[in-house]
Amino acid sequence: MEAAALEVRVLDAAESLLYGRGLQTVGMDEIRNESGVSLKRLYQLFPSKERLVEAYLRRRDARWRASLASYVDARPAEENKILAVFDWLESWFDEPDFRGCAFVNSFGELGATSEGVATAARDHVDALRRYLAGLVASAGLSAGLAEPLLLLVEGATVTAAISGNSATAGRAREAARTLVEADRSQDAQDATV
């Protein structure tokens, strides 16, 4: 089997185990068993567990953001794309294997001791911030709105993971709606002055 296919098998196993149980509780032997890839080959692909964790996080980031963007992009043009972010979050929170944000979880476990994990987590947050800033700009809203929206996304995700309640996405959506409406109202007031 070619290296790329083996890498996918290892990353699939790693994602299932690491996201499901945490970084520190899962050993390379378990990932070997789950993937069916020999330990020797596993270490040829990923010379250390830290490198495997970083690769898992990078792949998860790309897939997570692509899924979000695909959902938001599929909404009709007249629909508020910013609010669609929170609709997508609610569907994610309802997934049976939802355990919160893999990046927050990973940073909490290893961010202080692994620069690679810390960087992957920061890069994920920065990419999400840029994505939200793009939605804000496309909607003609104030650039400063992106940061509070990011806080709502992150806060809803952490709260949903801890509480087990996907309704936090709806509450965050209503808070986002309030922020969007306030921004539009302020723009309207500024235009009449």
Q: Which residue type, as a one-letter code, is found at position 89?
A: L
Q: Which domains occur in the chain, in start order?
A: 1-47 (1.10.10), 57-192 (1.10.357.10)
CA angle 151, 161, 176 (to 5 degrees): 30
> Would you state the structure tokens that stand for residue 46, as one six-digit string?
């990923």
Listing DSSP states for 58-107 in one string gives: HHHHHHHHHHHHHHHHTS-TTS-HHHHHHHHHHHHHTSTT--S-HHHHHH
The pLDDT, as a whole number, for residue 185 is 87
> Virtual CA dihedral for 95, 101, 102, 104, nearest 10 degrees?
-160
Walk along the chain (193 residues) and give the pLDDT tens digit of each residue. Answer: 688 899 999 999 999 999 999 999 999 999 999 999 999 999 999 999 999 999 999 999 999 999 999 999 999 887 899 999 999 999 999 999 999 999 999 999 998 899 999 999 999 999 999 999 999 999 999 999 999 999 999 999 999 999 999 999 999 999 999 999 999 887 556 655 4
- What pTM was computed for the model? 0.92
